[in-house]
Chain A
């Protein structure tokens, strides 16, 4: 029997498309912030509020409202946390790849800071996502880990980006660090499509991506809801990490003669050799 919310076509459509409308709203908030950051500082609080609000109600939808899966029963509910986190990790690391390419064409501290922010947030989301995958694997595959192409490419991704962040920490010269990490970011980015398509390219124990037309509508609604919640959270985390990275960069590249006397930190941005 279909749930009351999905009884009517209008209800079905509202439930299925409301998360997409919310995603458009989240992206609109973010993009309008970029056009005039000083006048829209409240945007980050709004985005964080949306993410927290969605995460507060998400457990009800994911753990109660959504029906059990035919073969996996209730264990499949890990999917609502596992998949969005890994997709957001891949998106963040794809932005890192884009920033790495952009930096080599046009050197910019902002691009370098965004690369650092996306690598760290991507690594964090990926690490949690993989751990959740391991928690899901134990009851369904009867093992915490197996050397499957999808899992190997995910593990390689984690090792590479951990190395990337280690490289950034050990190189003191900001310009050398930015250039070397941009090169490493490009090399590391090769793994992202391999990770995404591995389940299609090789026969694997890991299932392929599900098609919304083959699963219960409620599962689609909850998964979309979770995607939007994680998207809002990821945007906030990347931006806050970007601001921290940019502040560090400004402090590192500030010219000593440009600083006011008796102060160790610069007060203004853009005092370095790069924009």
Chain B
């Protein structure tokens, strides 16, 4: 849970994990879409 205590952010790992998972998922999906499109163009 995020709490502003004395001007400090405490916790927030769920946001960090969400950011990393989103980035990895984005890379995977965009890479896959490129692979599929390249394969279609080659065939």
Contact = CB atoms under 8 A, between A and B. Distances in A.
Contacts of A73: 8-12
Given A128-B26, A140-B9, A81 B15 contact: no
A128 B28 CA distance: 12
B9 A135 contact: no
Interface string A223-253: 0000000000100010011011001100100
Contacts of B41: 243-244, 247-248, 251
B15, B18, B38 — most chain A CB neighbours (10 Å): B15
A183 interface: no
Contacts of B34: 237, 240-241, 244
B31 to A, nearest CB: 7
Contact of B15 (A59, A124, A136): A136
Contact of A139 (B7, B12, B30, B38): B12
Contacts of A81: 19-20, 23
Given A132-B22, A135-B22, A237-B34, 11 more contacts: A59-B20, A74-B11, A75-B12, A78-B19, A124-B30, A128-B22, A131-B22, A135-B15, A139-B12, A237-B30, A247-B42
8 contacts: A73-B8, A75-B2, A75-B15, A128-B26, A132-B22, A132-B23, A233-B27, A237-B34
Task: Pick the 3 closest A-B CB pairs, nearest first.
Answer: A75-B12, A247-B41, A139-B12
